[in-house]
């Protein structure tokens, strides 16, 4: 009896707790306006949110009712998209979808949605090029329960690429000539240095091929000349996060750039990645990570010395850095980095050396580095070489940073350092849906450089038919990148599970997946959010010139049972590649452990993975229940 009473009491307590926390409304007002901004020595008119670039960081707690009033003081329509947030389609903020018509000049639009997730996200305009012009900011969602990741400091580190030019001017320049910003074009000197390496006739053949394709081997990025910012500060302004030696610091990295990828590192500090795209992953300790446009990574660092550490985000085209500082007091500055060599595109980036690639793998590591040189890369010890020494694979779909031997893969990671790879990402928790997909959807990424048009399955957005999914359907996207650029593919409204060689219940959730040049990737999706959602490349000028499509998820059928079979931890993805990858991953793991003392210490400074998984699991189930309720609501 006593026991029953106690149970009733705790149930009552639980109900009270959930009622109060569920009733919590968190309200913000964002004013979008033009203001003079000087980050480069020249004052230019840019878009600000509440007067600043980036806009204010919005903090929520899981379960909150978010209410955000957006006041448009621009002379043109605007919008706000909540990047990575699960919400009703009308609140997603894409004009001309789901009945949302954009926010007219001098009008106010109020966004309302329930927060059903935790993590680091961001918001930005989905109108013209406004995002490039300053219309973006960070979102941090804290868990309802005390956070299972205990830290002493917690900072947003938002990277962006600032230009004095207006986005409309940049787009016009690209339309005029796709190599407008290629000031780093291949020189006669480059030709003779590759001629020395591979003989004049081969070098000539290659140069002719690039010319015929109207591409330059430096095309890894197509806009340069940016000033890179950390939380809106340029390198001289030096954004600084304070710490006391020995403290645990959480850094919420957000790549809010319009067009720029980075290699991110903090010399002398190992980073333990705990979330990717806001979603929990099992801790993995790295020295650096390749950072795609629109992705986020949460890392934990523990600086032990009373010195200034430099946060280094080096742009992929090596034209600049976004720099910040972690220091025991303000005004300190760590070591300044020097640029790594700029890599050139190779045949592997073109997806043209797959045959060679297969051979490549079976050769010894010495031969591999020889191969690297032959394909025109800079001569230094590359990460790819390091990986190859300990692994054997004959799959092109290797989830490394691009196809081996490609310019994209050549991050210039020092020997012995570990760069994060997509296949390191394991969902922290158990994926609820471990079903095999019922069908594959092929997404071919293409482009026409002469007209600066970017396409999905050969069509630009204006001409593309939407892709239809049944509510609850399990599908697989197969991405085939037929271009020489990486495309960060972003799906609105739902998370994809990247098939990175992990078991089905451990596939990481991603809202944005970098598809490396000439590479293929696949991802699973449970279509459990009804509505119209866009799926697009997050490089702003690729999206603006057509690399976008619409996905339509049907309404829930009230007579249908959508309950899922219990998650299976043994189920592997039916994808052959993935199975191969899995065994490789184990090999990779043990390889890393032998050569990377840094990874073996991770359990010491992180909570036990097991406990975290359990907490995540219950959180996840809660989310599922909310999902279902939201779905039922739509059906009425």
Residues interacting with Cu ion, by CB under 5 A?
A: 487, 537, 539, 542
Q: Which one, 157 or 220, has the nearer CB to Cu ion?
A: 220
Which long-range contacts does 457-465 make (Cβ < 8 Å, 24+ apart)? 457/549, 459/546, 459/549, 460/545, 460/546, 460/547, 461/536, 461/546, 461/547, 461/548, 461/549, 461/550, 462/546, 464/548, 464/549, 464/550
Tell me if 326 sits within 8 A of 311, measured CB to CB: yes
Of 539, 533, 628, the residue nearest 82 (C-alpha)? 533
Helices 365-374 and 354-362: crossing angle in degrees, nearest 10, is 150
For Cu ion, give the closer residue by CB, 318 or 542: 542
CB nearer to Cu ion: give 334 or 351: 351
Q: Which is nearer to Cu ion, 487 or 550 (CB)?
A: 487
**CB contact at 8 A, 410 and 378:** yes
* Residues belonging to the chain: 636
Shortest Å distance, C-beta 183 to Cu ion: 21
Nearer to Cu ion, 344 or 539 (CB): 539
Q: Smallest distance, Å, CB 86 to Cu ion?
A: 24
Q: How far is the CB of 174 from Cu ion (least distance, A)?
A: 12
User: At its nearest, how many Å lie between Cu ion and the CB of residue 487?
Assistant: 3
The H or E element that residue 366 is part of is helix 365-374
Q: Which two tokens stand for residue 285?
A: 């300790």
Smallest distance, Å, CB 461 to Cu ion? 12
* Rounded distance between C-alpha atoms, residue 496 and residue 499, angstroms: 9
CB nearer Cu ion, residue 80 or residue 539 = 539
Least distance to Cu ion, CB of residue 292, Å: 10
Task: Indicate the residue among 286 and 539 with the shorter CB distance to Cu ion.
Answer: 539
Tokens 């917690």 belong to residue: 154
470-492 exposure pattern, b = at least 16 Cβ within 10 A, e = fewer: ebbbbbbbbbbbebbbbbbbbbb
576 CB neighbour count, 10 Å cutoff:
11
Q: What's 3-28 look like in SS3?
A: HHHHHHHHHHHHHHHHHHHHHCEEEE
Min separation Cβ 421 and Cu ion, Å: 21
Of 417 and 482, which has the nearer Cβ to Cu ion? 482
Q: Tokens for 219, please give them.
A: 């095309």
Q: How far is the CB of 253 from Cu ion (least distance, A)?
A: 21
The least CB distance from residue 483 to Cu ion, in Å, is 8
d(CA 624, CA 630): 10
For residue 577 the two structure tokens come to 């590649």
Instruction: Give me the least distance between CB of 535 and Cu ion, in Å please.
Output: 12
Separation between Cα atoms, residue 83 and residue 232, nearest integer Å: 19
172-191: burial string, b at 16+ Cβ within 10 Å, e else: ebbeeebbbbbebebeeebe
Calculated CA dihedral for residues 398, 404, 406, 408, nearest 10 degrees: 50
Q: In terms of CB distance, is 375 or 520 closer to Cu ion? A: 520
Nearer to Cu ion, 506 or 542 (CB): 542
C-alpha atoms less than 13 angstroms from C-alpha of 462 in its C-beta half-sphere: 5
**Of 294 and 348, which has the nearer Cβ to Cu ion?**
294
Tokens of 380: 């230094």
**Structural tokens at position 592:** 């890393």
Distances (CA, A) of 549 to 377, 495, 540, 543, 612: 35, 16, 14, 9, 37
Count CB-CB contacts under 10 A for residue 161: 25
Give the nearest distance from C-beta 241 to Cu ion in angstroms: 31
- Give me the least distance between CB of 542 and Cu ion, in Å please: 3
Do 125 and 258 contact (CB within 8 A), yes or no? no
Closer CB to Cu ion, 389 or 480, in the complex: 480
Please report how close the Cβ of residue 43 comes to Cu ion at its closest, in angstroms. 32
Shortest Cβ distance from residue 539 to Cu ion (Å)?
A: 4
Give the Å distances, CA to CA, from 575 to 80, 361, 505, 584.
37, 21, 14, 14
Q: Of 274 and 498, which has the nearer Cβ to Cu ion? A: 498
**C-beta closer to Cu ion: residue 386 or 538:** 538
């Amino acid at each position: 009896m006593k026991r029953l009473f106690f149970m009733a009491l705790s149930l009552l307590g639980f109900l009270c707790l959930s009622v109060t926390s569920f009733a919590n409304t968190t309200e913000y007002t964002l004013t979008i306006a033009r203001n003079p901004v000087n980050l480069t020595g020249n004052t230019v008119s840019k878009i600000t949110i509440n007067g600043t670039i980036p806009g204010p960081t919005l903090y929520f707690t899981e379960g909150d009712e978010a209410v955000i009033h957006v006041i448009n003081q621009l002379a043109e329509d605007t919008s706000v998209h909540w990047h990575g947030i699960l919400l009703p389609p009308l609140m997603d903020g894409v004009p001309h979808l789901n009945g949302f018509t954009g926010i007219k000049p001098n009008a106010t639009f109020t966004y309302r949605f329930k927060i059903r997730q935790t993590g680091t996200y961001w918001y930005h305009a989905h109108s013209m090029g406004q995002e490039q012009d300053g219309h973006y900011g960070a979102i941090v969602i804290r868990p309802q329960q005390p956070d299972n990741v205990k830290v002493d400091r917690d900072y947003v580190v938002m990277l962006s690429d600032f230009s004095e030019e207006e986005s409309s001017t940049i787009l016009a320049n690209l339309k005029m000539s796709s190599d407008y910003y290629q000031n780093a074009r291949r020189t006669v000197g480059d030709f003779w240095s590759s001629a020395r390496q591979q003989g004049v006739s081969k070098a000539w053949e290659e140069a002719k091929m690039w010319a015929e394709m109207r591409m330059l081997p430096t095309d890894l990025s197509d806009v340069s000349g940016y000033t890179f910012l950390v939380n809106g500060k340029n390198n001289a302004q030096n954004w600084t996060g304070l710490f006391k030696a020995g403290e645990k610091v959480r850094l919420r990295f957000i790549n809010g750039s319009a067009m720029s990828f980075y290699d991110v590192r903090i010399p002398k500090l190992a980073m333990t990645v705990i979330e990717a795209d806001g979603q929990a992953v099992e801790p993995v300790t790295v020295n650096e990570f390749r950072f795609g446009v629109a992705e986020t990574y949460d890392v934990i660092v523990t600086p032990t010395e009373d010195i200034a550490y430099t946060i280094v985000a080096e742009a992929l085209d090596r034209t600049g850095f976004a720099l910040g500082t972690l220091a025991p007091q303000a005004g300190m500055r760590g070591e300044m980095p020097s640029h790594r060599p700029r890599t050139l595109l190779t045949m592997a980036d073109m997806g043209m050396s797959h045959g060679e690639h297969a051979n490549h793998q079976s050769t010894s590591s010495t031969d591999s580095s020889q191969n690297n040189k032959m394909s025109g890369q800079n001569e230094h010890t590359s990460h790819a070489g390091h990986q190859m020494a300990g692994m054997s694979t004959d799959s092109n779909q290797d989830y490394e940073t691009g196809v081996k031997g490609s310019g994209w893969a050549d991050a210039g990671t020092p020997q012995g350092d570990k760069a994060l790879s997509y296949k390191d990402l394991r969902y922290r928790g158990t994926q609820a849906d471990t079903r095999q997909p019922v069908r594959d959807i092929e997404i071919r990424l293409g482009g026409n450089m002469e007209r600066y048009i970017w396409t999905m399955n050969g069509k630009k957005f204006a001409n593309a038919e939407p892709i239809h999914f049944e509510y609850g359907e399990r599908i697989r996207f197969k991405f085939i990148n037929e271009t020489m650029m990486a495309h960060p593919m972003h799906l609105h409204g739902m998370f994809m599970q990247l098939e990175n060689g992990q078991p089905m219940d451990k596939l990481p959730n991603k809202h944005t997946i970098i598809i490396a040049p000439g590479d293929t990737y696949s991802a699973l999706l449970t279509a459990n959010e009804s509505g119209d959602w866009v799926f697009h490349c997050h490089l702003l000028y690729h999206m603006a010139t057509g690399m976008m499509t619409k996905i339509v998820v049907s309404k829930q059928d009230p007579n249908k049972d959508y309950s899922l079979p219990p998650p299976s931890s043994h189920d592997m993805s039916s994808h052959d590649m993935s199975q191969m990858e899995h065994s490789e991953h184990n090999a990779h793991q043990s390889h890393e452990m032998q050569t990377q003392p840094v990874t073996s210490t991770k359990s010491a400074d992180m909570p036990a993975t097991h406990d975290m998984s359990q907490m995540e699991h219950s959180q996840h189930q809660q989310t599922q229940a909310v999902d279902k309720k939201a779905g039922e609501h739509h059906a009425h």
